[in-house]
Amino acid sequence: MPYPAGHRAKIRQKIVQAARRLFNQRGFENVSINEIMGAAGLTRGGFYSYFASKTELYAETLACFFTDPTWKNTWKGVEIDLNAAPVGPQIVRAYLSRQHFENVKDSCPMVALPSDVARAGKAAKRAFEGVFAGMVSFLERDVRHRNRDTETAAQAIAALCVGGMVIARAMDDRGHADRLRDACEAVALRLGGWEEKAGKAEKGYT
């Protein structure tokens, strides 16, 4: 009996989602194909009908909501609507939110996997660059300081979001980590020229 239309794409996405969570939690080297397929509810035997290698799968997991329309917002209480303007401040607040900070397994891979990518091959680095470029593109179209280079501002905002979260996650003192996230958010919003029309508590980003 043939599989229904779209079955193969759904199975592939299940593998990608399972791998992304495991890679985010433990890194590329510490996760086996058996573990990935088990987390996806599948057997190892089917892996190579979807991916040539674990490295190929790894490059595909390097996505976020900027570039992957199937990427689900899983940061509880955080709303991101890429069709509702302005998008820039939504991204900044969501990216530096407590929810994203705490949810390691469903992190944007730019936060969870940068050291792995630095050691990876060209395919993974290109995928990582693509996600960052996607983030910059969304931010740039909403930068309000038209007397400055909007691409430069957007790149700086993206770097504050990603770098700020990476450093916050590396801190043992939660209070210091929270203050760092707040500082990065304040500067990023200022760079974009975005006024806060609602407080964090009202938006659910804390």
* Average of per-residue pLDDT across 147-170: 93
**pLDDT tens sequence across 109-122:** 899 889 888 888 88
Q: What is the pLDDT of residue 148?
A: 66
The CATH number of 88-203 is 1.10.357.10
Give the domain ranges of the chain.
Answer: 7-60, 88-203
In percent, the amount of the chain with pLDDT more than 90 equals 58
Q: Which of 58-67, 74-83, 134-143 has the lowest mean pLDDT?
A: 74-83
pTM of the model: 0.84
How far is CA 17 from each of CA 14, 29, 104, 142, 176, rounded to the nearest angstrom? 5, 17, 14, 30, 31
Whether the domain at 7-60 and the domain at 88-203 fall into the same CATH topology: no
Per-residue pLDDT tens over the stretch 156-166: 999 999 999 99
Superfamily per CATH, domain 7-60? Homeodomain-like (1.10.10.60)
Residues 9-30: tens digit of each pLDDT: 889 999 999 999 999 999 998 9
C-alpha 137/C-alpha 156 separation (Å) is 12
- Cα distances (Å, whole numbers) of residue 148 to 81, 131, 144, 193: 26, 24, 9, 11
